[in-house]
Structure 1
Amino acid sequence: MRSTSLWFVPALSFCLLSAASRAQDRKPTITLDEYINTTDIVGTSLAPDASAAVVATETPDWKASTYRRDLWLWTAQGGLKPLTHSGTDQQPQWSPDGKWIAFLSDRAPAGSADGDADGESTEFSRVWLISASGGEALPLYSEKLDVDAFSWSPDSSAIYFSAKSPLSHDQEDEQKDEWKDVVRWREQYRGDVLLKIAVGRALARAIEVPLATETPTAAKADAEPSSKLPTGAETIAKCDLAISEIAPSPDGKQVAFLTEPIHKRIENPADYEIFLVAASGGNIRQVTHNQAVESNIRWSPDGHWIHLSVNAAGGSLEGKYRDVQGRLYRLDPASGKTERLGGSFDGSLDQYTLLADGRELALGLKGTEAQVYLIEGEKATKLPGRAGSYAGLEPARASNAILVRLSTINDPPQVYLAADPLQLDKLKKLTSFNPIFAERTQPEWQPYTWKSDDGQTIEGVLIFPPGKKGAKHLRMFTMIHGGPADADGNRFGADWYDWATFAADNGWLVFRPNYRGSTGYGDEFMLGIEPHLVSKPGRDILTGVDALVKDGFADPDHLAIGGYSYGGYMTNWLITQTTRFKSAVTGAGAVEHAANWGNDDETWDDAWYLGGRPWENPKLYQDEAALFQFDKVKTPTHLVQGGADVRVSYLEGETMERALESLGIPHTFLVFPGEGHSLEKNPWHGYIKLREELKWLEKYDKK
């Protein structure tokens, strides 16, 4: 029997592989237009009884040079159908009674005047409501208040929301008279106000507004209040910081909220804390005091605990700030004491959800996959699941059913319903976005491990051109992930940032290294990047390239490199360390650290990585900066940068371009006007970025 199996199984495997290869050969290669025209799933919400779900999507609108943000409603009877049509709708939340869906939208209420005659933004993200059975959406209020966060009250009678404290008309006039258009860098910032509006009265008022087809008269526009609180709004709390999350207690008596810096720059983790206030208003009590960046606050169903997470590179509740892996905690609001949950897990725990019966599930990233774990005290137990990476856990209030998203390198994310949350291998598929990828040839992948120069084992991912898995002497593109608190693995990516599969479709072996500083490999591995921000992970990456050349996968005469954000940092550094790469594509990566520390909106993290502020460790700031070694650069380099980037200053790109120009190194520099660190304003920017980066690789490395 064993002898028969040894002969039969390989032959069968060969037949299956040959059939699969022939099927791939019959499919066309995906085009750039098809590849980047993807619909992203950016949010979900499940009805309390799990009978319906809302899915939020983001899709390029090429004619309007923007992105559409739409909501879809899934029901067992009708499947998936459009719910809203404005193109600016996001962050859906189902009411606890299941009758309404609240969401944020930049659409203007009928009869309003959201103009910018006084230099204000024309877009105000208001709370809107739509019936779970469909129909027209109605605004919760019409005033010009830009929402930071919102949440339903437990009895569905009201909505809490936060917005920047408005100025009175007199205060606005005084400010304009005295300061004109001068920006007072810190003094002009105002904290948030936490408001509560009764839904019934708000809907009654909304129904009485003029029809959307009416054109407001000049008198109406002039009379539109620009800075008053909404009619009927109760002020629950005023805060010197911005309020980023709101969580009413299950009994409706208290409201927990999480703060963040008004200016949105992480200069001090102490700006991220949890506070409590009575639902009727009154004194505010701070219940956390730490150096972590807390997020995702939720009450346990019994109201005894507030659960929270600290994402990877967000510090921890234990001691001084360190960039460690994601952690889960629960807080006793009465005493302020916290307990760490799932501490035995040696990967990164970031997203989590609480079931109706109080059990906690969390996404655990370990190696190349994110799977779902049951959290019981210190213990984290991996649940049955499918290959790939899970995301977006969303529970039902009155049922233990949950929504999840699942993707693989070749399969775009889809939304699934799990009736039994402990059996995540048994899922009901609710969406079928981006079917084009199944109709085109697809690359194959495998994990790859090697030893770095100090003996540390490093893991990465190899993505082969279609039909060439295991082939040797391929031209290779080393594509470095950002973060650095991230990891590449078995999950889908198809956009201007993550285009590894498109490179593979165009004949490149793509090497994606999870260097030190990456998540999913333990705290010690992640902490190994500090304080050598680029040199330590740089050696991890180069030893990986050497190993792939030695193993015969990569052709040493046909190597290219690239990355964006921290991947850009590393690309900029590595072209000063070696001339082996025929070309480089880099974006939003610093070439020095002192000026970037002053500009970066994550300046606290920068200082941690480099062992202090610039004057506290000037030698390391210089030693770890690519700029001071640019005399070694020989690699033709293509640069991109958002013109309004404050994560990595646009001036970093200008500095690098000038250095390349002065050295006579072939290069190009593309600037995307109005874009920040993420190219989220205009889809054409991402399209052009990807198009030109691939052209640059092809120009300098044809095989």
Structure 2
Amino acid sequence: MHLFFRRAFTTSLCLCSCFAVAQVPRSTITLDEYLNTTEITTTSLSPDASAAVVATETPDWKASVYRHDLWLWSAQAGLKPLTHSGTDEQPRWSPDGKWIAFVSDRAPAGSEGGDAGNEDGKSSRIWLISASGGEALPLYSEKLDVHAFAWAPDSSAIYFSATSPLTHVQEDDRKDEWKDVVRWREQYRGDVLLKVEVAPALARAVAVPLAKEVPKAAKANAEPSSKLAAGAETIAKVDLAISEIAPSPNGKQVAFLTEPIHKRIENPADYEIFLVGAAGGSAQQLTHNQAVESNLRWSPDGHWIHFAVNAAAGSLEGKYRDVQGRLYRIDPASGNAERLGASFDGSLDQYILLADGRELALGLKGIETQVYRIEGEKATKLPGIAGSYAGLDPAHTADALLVRHSTVNDPTQVYLAADPQHPDKLKRLTDFNSVFAERAQPEWEPYTWKSDDGQTVEGMLIFPPGKKGAKHLRMFTLIHGGPADADGNRFGADWYDWATFAADNGWLVFRPNYRGSSGYGDEFMLQIEPHLVSKPGRDILTGVDALVKDGYADPDHLAIGGYSYGGYMTNWLITQTARFKSAVTGAGAVEHAANWGNDDETWDDAWYLGGRPWENPALYQDEAALFRFDKVKTPVHLVQGGADIRVSFLEGETMERALQSLGIPHSFLVFPGEGHGLGKNPWHGYIKLREELKWLEKYDRP
């Protein structure tokens, strides 16, 4: 049902039963309900638009992990489970619509061990399942972690990349010589681009369970000299990792995108587009720039390779700088590239190409992300529903696409647009997280103010349920990460984005889109450099001042918090003022020199601060909270992932030691094994949010 009419129908029901509704006010959502959400991670529309696969992530509280499942929607059966292993991701339809390929760490029959695999010893392989259902089959059984994969245009084969494997002799020699010693950088091996024919691979997979058990000693003697997938054809070898693969429409060439093996952004030159013949050979480098390219797609006529450069990932126009997201295309024959949608003054990131070559893209402008038609430099907004769109995915032989849509109070759902030019006319395919519609919902409004230099800044105010427009409220300033992001009219309900939960618990939540945020033009975004925290910090503090002056916020009941770059800002702001009664911060640096060396975005850090630490030492110190901690009076609750490489765990330890030595009330929680995103154990995010809310209430009860 069309979203607009669904809401209208709901309103009419409420009008008919208004007396009953008035007698039974909705209860606020509980923490258990709030975090027991299903997140839609990816979607894939069948070539003829008759079916769709939806990938989800859901907390499994008993197993202390996140489940990753696939669902199949069809017009006849609706939405039904497709796979059940709990580790299945990245679904992609074959061009002929017969198969769905996906990535999973389930172990196939007859699989062997090896030096590849995840840190838990499992390997992520490519699996295939028939579009009509049944058992999934592995494309290969060798222990090769897939980095990227793509279907051949005729569905006969799948291209994929993996770390170039060692022969058994090489692996044994390495273990004998180095034991468990890590040779930093030296031990890295580049990727190999492989091609596996689907039909023979499926025949091998079906035959494996029928084979007789071979004694282990005999199996070892029969092992091949290398660990490439059976039947695999080597297309290319590179010294970097291969993160994306895009075969040309005629099947004669394969474009691929590289990235550093260690996943640390030390040099944008590691991110480039290459082209190789489908039969293999030397790869030709197409791009040479200081941008981090992504999302490779061929135009249907095969004349262009399109790609995106996301916000804060550089650009093709000159030296590296953090600007809005951009779209480009390159002629593989000449190497000439051109920018698309340049007239748009927001941020263009994700895009799609329809079967006839038309290009649609998601554009973030202010507090909403809408769908735009891209024609040369021109970007035209298509009819849309208020809120934020995401996850565009087109049909390849039909004129339709999948979209995701949400608002602050409406959880993200998947919709089918039968006419891509009308993403306002949608058929709803999913109904996840329905509990939010049954609970009291906060209301919100945009808020603008003038910063200290006259710059207009925008943000969001989220009110406790039933209190929109109320004055003299206790206020929690929740700062988004990035900084290349923007808070707006979209759904969020997790340990990171918990503004609505704070509002449900009686807080007016202020979400400032300070300078450095995306969606407000390049100039607005660039003004964060080289004053990484002080410039946006003044935007935030003047916003708090304006809300106090306008009567919304009670100046005696203010709190502040954020995670990642929001943690950076929180750490800085509590050194600038004592007005906040409490602070909750996580994964935010307190200094920049060691953080430049420890985190995985060193190139970006150096751009923000005008050079490497020895090139601009004064600014590194001036913009660091640590050297102003003698001004801190605010009680601080601090969290950190124990294995975080985006913002090193050592930053959290340094901050805790400073607070301890100064006698500032504080608490420090460490989540073992977690990286920056706390994506391993759902209980870590649960405990984080539970304790952060307790901390706010401890120092500012209503």
Q: Does the Cα contact within 8 Å between 2:117 and 2:144 map onto a contact in 1?
A: no
Superposition RMSD in Å? 2.0
Residue 621 of structure 1 aligns with which residue?
620
Describe the superposition over 1:149-184 as per-residue Cα deviations: whole angstroms up to 9, x where unpaired.
000000000000000000001110111111110000
Cα offset, 1:121, TM superposition: 4.7
Residue 449 of structure 1 aligns with which residue?
448
Q: Write the distance in 2 (CA, Å) between the matches of 1:507 and 1:21.
A: 25
Q: Indicate how the Cα distance of structure 1 residues 211 and 259 shifts in structure 2: closer, same or farther if over 3 A, else same.
A: same
Cα offset, 1:26, TM superposition: 1.6
Residue 332 of structure 1 aligns with which residue?
331
Query: Residue type of the partner of 2:596?
Result: W
Q: Write the distance in 1 (CA, Å) between the matches of 2:248 and 2:403.
A: 25
Q: How many residues align?
A: 688
Q: Indicate how the Cα distance of structure 1 residues 503 and 69 shifts in structure 2: closer, same or farther if over 3 A, else same.
A: same
Residue 406 of structure 2 aligns with which residue?
407
Describe the superposition over 1:469-524 as per-residue Cα deviations: whole angstroms up to 9, x where unpaired.
00000000000000000000000000010000000000000000000000000000
Residue 163 of structure 1 aligns with which residue?
162
Residue 478 of structure 1 aligns with which residue?
477
Residue 263 of structure 1 aligns with which residue?
262
The TM-score normalised by the length of structure 1 is 0.95
Q: Write the distance in 1 (CA, Å) between the matches of 2:114 and 2:229.
A: 18
Query: Residue type of the partner of 2:160?
Result: F
Map residues 216-615 of structure 1 onto 2, 5 A cutoff: 228-615=227-614
Map residues 24-43 of structure 1 onto 2, 5 A cutoff: 26-43=25-42
Q: Does the Cα contact within 8 Å between 1:588 and 1:640 map onto a contact in 2?
A: yes
Cα offset, 1:112, TM superposition: 2.3
Residue 182 of structure 2 aligns with which residue?
183
SS state at 1:659 partner: helix
Q: Write the distance in 2 (CA, Å) between the matches of 1:702 and 1:59.
A: 33
Q: Write the distance in 1 (CA, Å) between the matches of 2:426 and 2:445.
A: 25
Cα offset, 1:221, TM superposition: 7.9
Q: Write the distance in 1 (CA, Å) between the matches of 2:214 and 2:443.
A: 57
Q: Indicate how the Cα distance of structure 1 residues 60 and 428 shifts in structure 2: closer, same or farther if over 3 A, else same.
A: same
Q: Write the distance in 1 (CA, Å) between the matches of 2:269 and 2:20.
A: 55
Q: Write the distance in 1 (CA, Å) between the matches of 2:583 and 2:546.
A: 20
| Structure 1, unpaired ranges of 5+ | 1-11
Q: Write the distance in 2 (CA, Å) between the matches of 1:422 and 1:118.
A: 43
Q: Indicate how the Cα distance of structure 1 residues 118 and 107 shifts in structure 2: closer, same or farther if over 3 A, else same.
A: closer
Cα offset, 1:210, TM superposition: 2.0
Q: Write the distance in 2 (CA, Å) between the matches of 1:23 and 1:68.
A: 39
SS state at 1:614 partner: coil
| Structure 2, unpaired ranges of 5+ | 1-10
SS state at 1:567 partner: helix
Cα offset, 1:113, TM superposition: 4.2
Query: Residue type of the partner of 1:52?
Result: A
Q: Does the Cα contact within 8 Å between 2:111 and 2:143 map onto a contact in 1?
A: no
SS state at 1:26 partner: coil
Q: Which moved more, 1:459-468 or 1:227-236?
A: 227-236
Q: Does the Cα contact within 8 Å between 1:24 and 1:441 map onto a contact in 2?
A: no
Q: Does the Cα contact within 8 Å between 1:403 and 1:417 map onto a contact in 2?
A: yes
Q: Indicate how the Cα distance of structure 1 residues 46 and 118 shifts in structure 2: closer, same or farther if over 3 A, else same.
A: closer
Q: Write the distance in 1 (CA, Å) between the matches of 2:454 and 2:123.
A: 54
Residue 7 of structure 2 aligns with which residue?
none
Percent same amino acid among aligned pairs? 84
Describe the superposition over 1:33-54 as per-residue Cα deviations: whole angstroms up to 9, x where unpaired.
0000100000000000000000
Q: Indicate how the Cα distance of structure 1 residues 225 and 461 shifts in structure 2: closer, same or farther if over 3 A, else same.
A: farther
Q: Does the Cα contact within 8 Å between 1:584 and 1:638 map onto a contact in 2?
A: yes
Query: Residue type of the partner of 1:407?
Result: S
SS state at 1:86 partner: coil
Cα offset, 1:116, TM superposition: 8.0
Q: Write the distance in 2 (CA, Å) between the matches of 1:359 and 1:119.
A: 39
Q: Indicate how the Cα distance of structure 1 residues 65 and 221 shifts in structure 2: closer, same or farther if over 3 A, else same.
A: farther
Q: Does the Cα contact within 8 Å between 2:637 and 2:695 map onto a contact in 1?
A: yes
Residue 3 of structure 2 aligns with which residue?
none
Cα offset, 1:123, TM superposition: 1.2
Q: Write the distance in 2 (CA, Å) between the matches of 1:26 and 1:65.
A: 34
Q: Write the distance in 2 (CA, Å) between the matches of 1:455 and 1:409.
A: 29
Residue 6 of structure 1 aligns with which residue?
none
Q: Indicate how the Cα distance of structure 1 residues 464 and 414 shifts in structure 2: closer, same or farther if over 3 A, else same.
A: same
The TM-score normalised by the length of structure 2 is 0.96
Describe the superposition over 1:173-232 as per-residue Cα deviations: whole angstroms up to 9, x where unpaired.
1111111100000000000000000000000000011279x9997558867779610111
Q: Indicate how the Cα distance of structure 1 residues 211 and 495 shifts in structure 2: closer, same or farther if over 3 A, else same.
A: farther
Describe the superposition over 1:439-494 as per-residue Cα deviations: whole angstroms up to 9, x where unpaired.
11100000000000000000000000000000000000000000000000000000
Q: Write the distance in 2 (CA, Å) between the matches of 1:249 and 1:552.
A: 59
Cα offset, 1:25, TM superposition: 6.1
Cα offset, 1:120, TM superposition: 6.8
Residue 9 of structure 1 aligns with which residue?
none
Describe the superposition over 1:88-124 as per-residue Cα deviations: whole angstroms up to 9, x where unpaired.
0000010000000000001000232448899975111
Query: Residue type of the partner of 1:296?
Result: N
Q: Write the distance in 2 (CA, Å) between the matches of 1:82 and 1:293.
A: 36
Q: Indicate how the Cα distance of structure 1 residues 77 and 600 shifts in structure 2: closer, same or farther if over 3 A, else same.
A: same
Q: Indicate how the Cα distance of structure 1 residues 254 and 238 shifts in structure 2: closer, same or farther if over 3 A, else same.
A: same
Q: Write the distance in 2 (CA, Å) between the matches of 1:119 and 1:431.
A: 32
Residue 153 of structure 1 aligns with which residue?
152
Q: Write the distance in 2 (CA, Å) between the matches of 1:24 and 1:473.
A: 28
Q: Write the distance in 2 (CA, Å) between the matches of 1:678 and 1:117.
A: 23
Q: Indicate how the Cα distance of structure 1 residues 82 and 215 shifts in structure 2: closer, same or farther if over 3 A, else same.
A: farther
Q: Does the Cα contact within 8 Å between 1:644 and 1:676 map onto a contact in 2?
A: yes
Residue 130 of structure 1 aligns with which residue?
129
Q: Does the Cα contact within 8 Å between 1:112 and 1:224 map onto a contact in 2?
A: no
Q: Indicate how the Cα distance of structure 1 residues 22 and 527 shifts in structure 2: closer, same or farther if over 3 A, else same.
A: farther
Describe the superposition over 1:112-155 as per-residue Cα deviations: whole angstroms up to 9, x where unpaired.
24488999751111000000000000000000100000000000
Q: Write the distance in 2 (CA, Å) between the matches of 1:69 and 1:155.
A: 29
Q: Write the distance in 2 (CA, Å) between the matches of 1:432 and 1:224.
A: 49
Query: Residue type of the partner of 1:700?
Result: Y
SS state at 1:292 partner: coil
Q: Write the distance in 2 (CA, Å) between the matches of 1:290 and 1:166.
A: 30
Q: Indicate how the Cα distance of structure 1 residues 119 and 571 shifts in structure 2: closer, same or farther if over 3 A, else same.
A: closer
SS state at 2:177 partner: helix
Q: Does the Cα contact within 8 Å between 1:143 and 1:225 map onto a contact in 2?
A: no
Q: Write the distance in 1 (CA, Å) between the matches of 2:226 and 2:623.
A: 48
Q: Indicate how the Cα distance of structure 1 residues 582 and 641 shifts in structure 2: closer, same or farther if over 3 A, else same.
A: same
